[in-house]
Amino acid sequence: MGIRLGCIADDFTGATDLANNLVRAGMRVVQLIDVPPAGAAPAVDADGVVIALKSRTVPAADAVAASLRALARLRSMGAEQVYFKYCSTFDSTPAGNIGPVTEALMDALGTDFTVATPAFPDNGRTVFKGHLFVGDVLLGDSGMRHHPLTPMTDSNLVSVLGAQTTRAVGLIDHTVVAGGAEAIRARIDALREDGVGIAVVDAVSNDDLLRLGAAVRGLPLVTAGSGLAIGLPANWGFEPSPAAAQLPPPGGHRAIVSGSVSVATNGQVLRYLNSGRPAFRVDPLRVAAGEDVAGQALAFAASHLDDGPVLVYSTEPADTVRSVQGRLGAAEAGELVERTLARVAQGLVERGVRRLVVAGGETSGAVVQALGVTGLRIGPQIDPGVPWCAATLPDGDTLHITLKSGNFGGPDFFTSAFALLDEEAA
Ligand code: ADP
């Protein structure tokens, strides 16, 4: 049997967030990293597949092309409904990419109507009267106003989306959503009659998303943040169940690779260092000076792997990072560190690590690429938005891996991650 839900996410960590929500609502989900090359269609045993693209800030034509390629693969896997996932702060510009991608997917699917809602109340993203709130403030008054690539100054999503698409954009407002799935469907019919192609939908609570989820049953395409995912699996009879998050039994050595420089990760690394466990610091200046820092890290790790998790980290507080960036250049420093940590991760896996925590969004991308990982089965959630995953290595072995972006995870994330895996195995 084919998959039920096929998802296209416009960035990597957003894809994991979506996959995680679907698993929690009872679907077994596989996340693919980029579109598998033609002819290499992996046989996926899952209810939902999320293809992670990097299409949020690329030129609109490239985003459209990548999304259509993803759509074709999802349809070949049997997807009955397609979910285009974007950021819960609706990151985009008048040039796109949310509007153009939505429109292209509608054309390819031959559908004249879809919904749009970035609402994710659990993360403080709500939509009311078409206006997006980030926590307690309107989007346009939030920090997103100053985003370097996608500054969001208008909070009215009907006008934001209207500027990006030739389709008429309408609104399904909160009074309708509160009335339940039937009321939403009636409104969809009315909007369709009026020639509206895309309806922004209000949602201020999980109940709103559940009602919307039921109402969009059978729509060929939905577009949303990751919030709407909580309301879709039930349409196929899925119910929350630990079985959906089941991974193969874990084994092998344990390690943590951290290239994240965010505040939360700094706290997690400090907590780990204070516990006295083995850790190796990667100093970008020594890498830049030509030292084989990855080799040193691996030699250190090899002598400690038998005793439990080993941490290899470049994580430093912001002022230290700034001074390194000042000497090496920000992009160069980032690339240098990413390359080093990716080599370390590769070496760790060669030395028998099969349970790996990676901290940092960019770092995760580099590690996953170096390991040749193309797909992840999504497992149990460690902390909100961060699940354990199982990847198949190129040699066929299973690697348990979790990819934690910047500010995610509690202070004890590194130890609680391994504890959860032990619990699951028990
Ligand atoms: P986060 O999710 O916290 O933003 P990322 O991995 O996405 O983490 O980004 C962190 C960036 O900073 C990466 O490019 C990484 O290589 C770089 N970096 C990590 N450690 C250092 C350091 N000590 N000095 C300078 N740059 C660093």
377: region left, alpha or beta (phi > 0 left; psi from -120 to 50 alpha): beta
Q: Of the candidates 172, 49, 177, 53, which has an alpha carbon nearest to the alpha carbon of residue 114?
A: 172
d(CA 102, CA 108): 10
Q: Is 262 in the pocket of ligand 1 (CB under 6 A)?
A: yes
CA 259 / ligand 1 centre spacing (Å): 5
CA 334 / ligand 1 centre spacing (Å): 6
Q: Rounded to the nearest 10 degrees, how much is the dihedral formed by the CA atoms of 52, 229, 86, 414? A: -60
pLDDT recorded at residue 40: 61
d(CA 359, CA 268): 10
Q: What is the pTM of this model?
A: 0.92
List, in sequence order, every residue forming a beta bridge with 281; answer none if it has no partner.
Answer: 313
d(CA 98, CA 163): 11
Q: How far apart are the first and last CA of the chain?
A: 31
Q: Is 348 in the pocket of ligand 1 (CB under 6 A)?
A: no
Q: In Å, how far are 26, 154, 184, 245, 277 from 22, measured between CA atoms?
A: 7, 30, 22, 10, 35
Give the residue range(s) of CATH 3.40.50.10840 domains in the chain: 5-239
pLDDT recorded at residue 391: 96
Q: Is 406 in the pocket of ligand 1 (CB under 6 A)?
A: yes
d(CA 126, CA 417): 30
pLDDT recorded at residue 308: 87
Q: Is 13 in the pocket of ligand 1 (CB under 6 A)?
A: no
Query: What residue's CA is closest to ligand 1, atom 11?
Result: 334
Q: Is 324 in the pocket of ligand 1 (CB under 6 A)?
A: yes
pLDDT recorded at residue 171: 98
Which residues have a Cβ under 8 Å from the Cβ of 45 and sit 6 or more positions away? 28, 30
The CATH fold of domain 246-425: Molybdenum Cofactor Biosythetic Enzyme; Chain A (3.40.980)
Q: Is 258 in the pocket of ligand 1 (CB under 6 A)?
A: no
Enter the CATH code of domain 5-239: 3.40.50.10840
- The alpha carbon of residue 164 and the mean position of all alpha carbons in its chain are separated, in whole angstroms, by 23
Q: Which of 323, 363, 408, 413 to mutate to test the pocket of ligand 1 (most atoms within 8 A of CB)?
A: 363
User: CB-hemisphere CA count at 13 Å for 222?
Assistant: 28
Give the residue range(s) of CATH 3.40.980.20 domains in the chain: 246-425
pLDDT tens-digit profile, the chain (426 residues): 789 999 999 998 889 999 999 999 999 999 999 888 776 656 789 999 999 999 999 999 999 999 999 999 999 999 999 999 999 999 999 999 999 999 999 999 999 999 999 999 998 999 999 999 999 999 999 988 888 888 999 999 999 999 999 999 999 999 999 999 999 999 999 999 999 999 999 999 999 999 999 999 999 999 999 999 999 999 999 999 999 999 999 999 999 999 999 999 999 999 999 999 999 999 999 999 999 999 999 999 999 999 989 999 999 999 999 999 999 999 999 999 999 999 999 999 999 999 999 999 889 999 999 999 999 999 999 998 899 999 999 999 999 999 998 888 999 999 999 999 998 877
